[in-house]
A and B are shown apart, each in its own frame.
Chain A
Amino acid sequence: EPEVTQTPSHQVTQMGQEVILRCVPISNHLYFYWYRQILGQKVEFLVSFYNNEISEKSEIFDDQFSVERPDGSNFTLKIRSTKLEDSAMYFCARGSSGGPYTRTDTQYFGPGTRLTVL
């Protein structure tokens, strides 16, 4: 199955700036996820998004983070005021094709956005 695409591939920003990471999944899928991976560490779940609403979020996903699907296709992760520790790879994933309304266990990941906060 095709992966999602993510833009940009690399984002460099100054501490305190807002960043928006974008994910373009196959249209009409309803289950999406954001994960992050700090260099050399585990992949960590951030948030899951179903039918345009957050369905689950981790402790990492605090008030500095938000997700939305502004135009019904792109799926964005916004970090309002970046910190040095936000530097990581951010991965978007979608549920597999059990049909767009079915949450299946397998997830398909995009190539990631490398965020560097200076």
Chain B
Amino acid sequence: SQQGEEDPQALSIQEGENATMNCSYKTSINNLQWYRQNSGRGLVHLILIRSNEREKHSGRLRVTLDTSKKSSSLLITASRAADTASYFCATGVGKLTFGTGTRLTIIP
């Protein structure tokens, strides 16, 4: 079964605006993570939220988790050009299952 589908697939916003990406999953989870991938590079861990948490913050990042809807959102506030990347949600312990990703472009 597919696990972790992000939307939108692509998002372009002006620098300084907020960017919101969503992730849906199908099976029950212990936690959900968000990773960033710059073009052609490795994945960088951003934030992990556990199934008993509803919201978590890290700097300009805010993640929410709604286990009843099996969905999560990643909000990046005050976006910068350096935030241009693909963003993936991932679920699992050990074996991570990644979503399809949102390609975020910040326009200077």
Binding site for B on A (CB under 8 A): 3, 31, 33, 35, 42-45, 48, 55-56, 58, 89, 91, 93, 103, 105-112, 114
| Residues of chain B at interface, number, CB under 8 A | 23
User: A72 to B74, alpha carbons, bound, how many Å?
Assistant: 38
Chain A residues with CB under 8 A of B98? 42-44
B43 contacts across to A, CB distance below 8 A = 43, 91, 93, 109
Say which residue of B33, B41, B88 sits within 8 Å of A106 (CB atoms). B33
With beta carbons under 8 angstroms apart, the residue of B31, B33, B41, B101 that contacts A112 is: B41
Q: Could you tell me which residues of chain B, from 57 to 108, have a CB within 8 Å of some CB in chain A?
A: 88, 90, 92-101
Contacts of A109 in B (CB 8 A): 35, 42-45
Contact partner of B45 among A45, A56, A108, CB < 8 A? A108
Given A42-B100, A42-B101, A105-B30: A56 touches B95 (CB 8 Å cut-off): yes
Chain B contacts for A43, CB-based, 8 A? 43, 88, 90, 96, 98
Chain B residues packing against A (C-beta within 8 Å):
30-31, 33, 35, 40-45, 48, 88, 90, 92-101
Min CB–CB distance A50 → chain B (angstroms): 9
Residues of A with C-beta under 8 A to B31: 105
Residues B44 and A42 in contact, CB atoms below 8 Å apart: no
Cβ contact within 8 Å between B42 and A42: no
Contact residues in A for B48 (Cβ distance below 8 Å): 105-106
| Residue in chain B with minimal CB distance to A3 | B42
Flag if A103 contacts B42 (CB, 8 Å). no
- Name the residue of chain B whose CB is nearest to the CB of A58: B95
B97 surroundings in chain A (CB, below 8 A) = 45
The answer to whether A48 and B94 have CB atoms under 8 Å apart is: yes
> Closest Cβ of chain A: how far from B63's Cβ, in Å?
14
State A114–B41 Cα separation when bound (angstroms): 10
A105 & B95 in contact (Cβ 8 Å cutoff) = no
* Chain B residues whose C-beta falls within 8 Å of the C-beta of A105 in the assembled complex: 30-31, 33, 48, 93
